[in-house]
Amino acid sequence: MKKSDAVALLRRLVSLPSVEPTQTDRPGEIGGEARMADFFAGYMENLGFDIERQEVLPGRCNVIARRGPADPERTWLLESHMDTVGIDGMLHDPFAGEVRDGRLYGRGAADCKGAMAAAMDALARIDLDAVAARGDAILYVGAMGEETGNNGARAVLPLLPERISRTIVLEPTEAQVVHASKGIAALEIDFTGRSAHGSNPEVGLNAIYAAMEFVARLKAYAAAEAAAHRHPLVGAPSMNVGVIRAGIAPNVVPPACHLELDWRVVPGEDIEDVKTALRGILADMVREGLCLDAALEQTQQNCPLVTPGDSPLVRELVAACRASGLDSAPGGVRWCCDGSVFCPRSDETVVFGPGSIKQGHATVEYIATAELEAASDALARLLAGG
């Protein structure tokens, strides 16, 4: 196997600003993924991959790199997001990629250009023709727009094969092999009441009061769900009411109230059951005369990530990590990533990468170069070994 070039590669990736455009006041200068997309496409093309670009938003592309037989025995999907969060308040140069005391500093060094450099470097180090000859196709998606809701991953789904054998989403997991994570369901509820003058509230039906009563019942239900569905790796499901909008003036009974909440779904919990239960609560409230109508709608769905801990991909990646000097084990995380989007399409899905998510959105972001190189070794071993 060729020597790792992951540190130099990561310095290059860090030097290509790809800040989520809504998180900078200089979007024209450092915003968007275009520089990363061009570099990634060129690098993969050099390795014999076919390149397709998909423009998801103006000037913001996914890059899909494909290599291997047209009718593969097995299809691997690697995925990295190319965007980073903003750089406000950072305590070091975000784009210099300075290496000091065994650490490489820069925006994206951990989240998630480090993991991307490890995977790109791994592909450059192995015999890709031998991988193809064995019947394995490799797809590598460089995705845009992860930091603001997995837009790139969702958009690329129609361009991917119906069935994917093995998906590795490259995110900083401290080189742990993550096979379980929470999903997210965003729910919106609109309460309808009846307007009246504030001097005569008893002829109206206050939609804010209805929403308040719902929140009280919702919290009781969520507490029961949390107790019933505690997952050994990712913990209990959780809920947050994040938006509430209503009202016209202090002297008007509000006829409508809009509420938005975020439900973190754990493996083994069915969001459809949650929605059915919440609709039941709302129906009770209408029956009790607390509002005229209450409609619940789901606006976002990220499934929980669930791959059995003893599945071949998990076991092989853990073994490859240990052979590369990493202290890796199968595990779960509470946060949600693009893995949720691909999990339903893939026989096995894991999230893996060097670096820590704690560094991810911080004012000092770095990755340990030894861990970066070891992760490249592990991925090279896994992909070359079959």
Give the interface with Zn ion as residue ranges (CB under 5 A).
Answer: 111-112, 171
Q: Which residue, 171 or 348, is less far from Zn ion as judged by CB?
A: 171
* Beta carbon nearer to Zn ion, 33 or 111: 111
User: Nearest distance from residue 337's CB to Zn ion, in Å?
Assistant: 6
Instruction: For residues 15 and 222, give the distance between their C-alpha atoms in angstroms, rounded to a whole number.
Output: 45
Other CB atoms within a 10 A radius of the CB of residue 288 amount to: 10
Q: Which is nearer to Zn ion, 150 or 346 (CB)?
A: 150
Taking the complex as a whole, the smallest distance from the CB of residue 172 to Zn ion amounts, in Å, to: 7
Q: What is the nearest approach in angstroms of Zn ion to the Cβ of residue 171?
A: 5
Q: How far is the CB of 362 from Zn ion (least distance, A)?
A: 13
Q: CB-wise, 171 or 365, nearer to Zn ion?
A: 171
Whole-angstrom distance, CA of residue 41 vs CA of residue 64: 8
Give the shortest CB-81-to-Zn ion separation in angstroms: 5
Q: Nearest to residue 36, comparing CAs of 99, 127, 107?
A: 107
Q: For Zn ion, give the closer residue by CB, 112 or 265.
A: 112
Nearest-approach distance from CB 113 to Zn ion, in angstroms: 9
Q: How far apart (Å, rounded) are the C-alpha atoms in residues 247 and 356?
A: 43
Query: Across the strands, what pairs with 191?
Result: 257, 294
CB of 230 to Zn ion, least distance (A): 26
264: nearest Cα among 222, 219, 306, 214? 222
Which residue number, 131 or 336, has a Cβ lying nearer to Zn ion?
336
Residue nearest Zn ion, CB atom distance: 112
Q: Is 242 exposed, middle or buried (0-12, 13-18, 19+ CB in 10 A)?
A: exposed
**Side-chain half-sphere CA neighbours of 238 within 13 A:** 10
Q: Computed from CA positions of residues 344, 346, 350, 351, in that sequence, does the dihedral angle turn out positive or negative?
A: negative
Nearest to 165, CA basis, from 361, 345, 334, 292: 345
Residue appearing with tokens 């595990």 = 331
d(CA 320, CA 326): 9
Q: How far is the CB of 146 from Zn ion (least distance, A)?
A: 6
- Which tokens hold the place of 109? 């060094």
> Which residue number, 33 or 225, has a Cβ lying nearer to Zn ion?
33
| Tokens, residue 68 | 């291997």
How far, in Å, CA of 27 to CA of 140, rounded? 26
Nearer to Zn ion, 82 or 259 (CB): 82
